[in-house]
């Protein structure tokens, strides 16, 4: 099935944080934000704009380490989090190479972007992307988004953060110059591990077929399959 991704062109971003606030309203997470916990936050740094948000890795460390499967990689892209299952052990907090999951001491739960999975299902783009006044945040099918990221990067000599960091992610952040300068964490790079599933998708199949295939598969099965595929490759 098709997968989705986010593109952030920081050369269009002014740090207004409309995206952050819209996200907070979407999730009614004002209390967490008051305590400094954000699903997404834009820091106006000297070297550029740092968007601290989940990268939705192809092969997420947080998913691997979570002892209770509270985190899962969906087949259409987002790394999802089930707060009911979460025991607050903070393994993901420590494991995430991007330092993304935030631990809320009050609720003893995690806060992390879901790529607005509920909105994707509701025929809407993620709240932050819809709100961004400059169009710096764009959402769409991974293939198209990656194509766009590559095109812009080539044309305007920008770097794509998230392309090969942690062996690939569903978030592509375009920066002028080194992403590190703007505040992005230096994460080990690797060749994207998931061959077809995450970014290629069964794009050639007719939509209806895609629906049937997609519809029949359970998340857990999918997860197992991905794990298997990865093992085979290693």
What residue ranges bind ligand SF4 (CB under 6 A)? Answer: 13-19, 23, 26, 39-40, 42, 53-57, 60-62, 79, 96, 98, 100-101, 112-116, 126-128, 132, 134, 136-137
- 151 or 189, CB closer to other proteins? 151
- 54 or 226, CB closer to ligand SF4? 54
- 14 or 230, CB closer to other proteins? 14
User: What DSSP state is assigned to residue 142?
Assistant: H
Q: Are 170 and 194 in contact (CB under 8 A)?
A: no
What does 39 bind: other proteins, ligand SF4, none (CB cut-off 5 to 8 Å by kind)? ligand SF4
- 1 or 71, CB closer to ligand SF4? 71
- 128 or 158, CB closer to ligand SF4? 128
If one counts every other C-beta atom within 10 angstroms of the C-beta of residue 151, the result is 10
In the complex, least distance from residue 195 CB atom to other proteins, rounded to whole angstroms: 19
How many whole angstroms from its chain centre is CA 135? 18
In the complex, least distance from residue 192 CB atom to ligand SF4, rounded to whole angstroms: 13
User: What DSSP state is assigned to residue 165?
Assistant: B
User: What DSSP state is assigned to residue 78?
Assistant: P
- 88 or 205, CB closer to ligand SF4? 88
Cα 51 from Cα 171, distance rounded (Å): 11
What does 96 bind: other proteins, ligand SF4, none (CB cut-off 5 to 8 Å by kind)? ligand SF4
Q: How far is CA 193 from CA 76, 164, 165, 206, 211, in A?
A: 16, 10, 11, 26, 25
For 86-216, list the strands marked E by DSSP: 102-104, 109-111, 137-141, 158-161, 171-176
Handedness of CA 207, 209, 212, 214 (dihedral sign): negative
What does 56 bind: ligand SF4, other proteins, none (CB cut-off 5 to 8 Å by kind)? ligand SF4
- Binding residues for other proteins, rule: CB under 8 A, are 1-2, 4, 11-18, 20-22, 24-28, 30, 33-36, 41, 43-44, 46, 48-49, 72, 74, 76, 78, 80-84, 114, 117-118, 120-123, 125, 127, 130-135, 140-141, 207-208, 210-211, 213-215, 219
In the complex, least distance from residue 212 CB atom to ligand SF4, rounded to whole angstroms: 28
Burial status of residue 174 (CB atoms within 10 A of its CB: 0-12, 13-18, 19 or more): buried
**Which helix H or strand E contains 231, and what residues bound it?**
helix 219-233
């Amino acid at each position: 099935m098709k997968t989705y991704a986010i593109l952030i062109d920081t050369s269009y971003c002014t740090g207004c944080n409309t995206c952050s606030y819209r996200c907070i309203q979407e999730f009614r997470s004002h209390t967490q934000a008051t305590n400094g916990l954000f699903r997404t936050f834009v820091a106006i740094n000297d070297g550029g704009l740092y968007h601290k948000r989940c990268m939705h890795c192809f092969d997420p460390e947080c998913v691997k380490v979570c002892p209770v499967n509270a985190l899962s990689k969906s087949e259409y892209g987002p790394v999802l989090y089930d707060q009911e299952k979460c025991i607050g052990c903070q393994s993901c907090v420590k494991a995430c190479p991007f330092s993304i999951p935030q631990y809320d001491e009050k609720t003893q739960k995690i806060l992390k972007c879901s790529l607005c999975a509920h909105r994707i299902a509701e025929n809407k783009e993620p709240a932050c992307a819809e709100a961004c006044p400059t169009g710096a945040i764009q959402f769409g099918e991974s293939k198209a988004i990656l194509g766009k990221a590559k095109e812009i990067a080539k044309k305007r000599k920008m770097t794509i953060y998230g392309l090969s960091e942690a062996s690939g992610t569903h978030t592509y952040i375009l920066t002028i110059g080194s992403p590190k300068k703007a505040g992005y964490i230096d994460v080990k790079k690797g060749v994207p591990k998931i061959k077809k599933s995450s970014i290629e998708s069964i794009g050639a199949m007719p939509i209806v077929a895609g629906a049937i295939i997609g519809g029949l598969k359970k998340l857990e099965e999918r997860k197992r399959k991905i794990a298997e595929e990865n093992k085979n490759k290693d």
